[in-house]
Amino acid sequence: MKGLEKKKEIVARMLGCSKKKVRFDTEHLSEIKDAVTKADLRSLIKKGYIKIVSDKGVSRARARKRHEQKKKGRRRGHGSRKGKAGARIGKKEFWIAHVRAQRKALKQLREKGKIKESAFRDVYRKISGGAFRSVRHMFLYLEEHGLMKK
- pTM value is 0.54
The alpha carbon dihedral of 122, 125, 130, 134 has a sign of: positive
Which CATH code is given to the segment(s) 90-144? Answer: 1.10.1200.60
Can you give the pLDDT of all 150 residues of the chain as single tens digits?
567 899 999 999 999 999 999 999 999 999 999 999 999 999 999 999 999 999 889 999 999 999 999 999 999 999 999 999 899 899 999 999 999 999 999 999 999 999 999 999 999 999 999 999 999 999 999 999 999 987
Given a contact cutoff of 8 angstroms between Cβ atoms, the answer to whether 132 and 100 are in contact is no
Q: How many helices (H) and strands (E) does the chain have?
A: 8, 2
CATH architecture of 2-52: Orthogonal Bundle (1.10)
Domain spans in the chain, listed from the N-terminal domain onward: 2-52, 90-144
**Within 10 Å of residue 51's Cβ, how many Cβ atoms?**
14
For 108, phi then psi, to 5°, come to -65, -40
- CA dist 78 and 44 (Å) reads 60
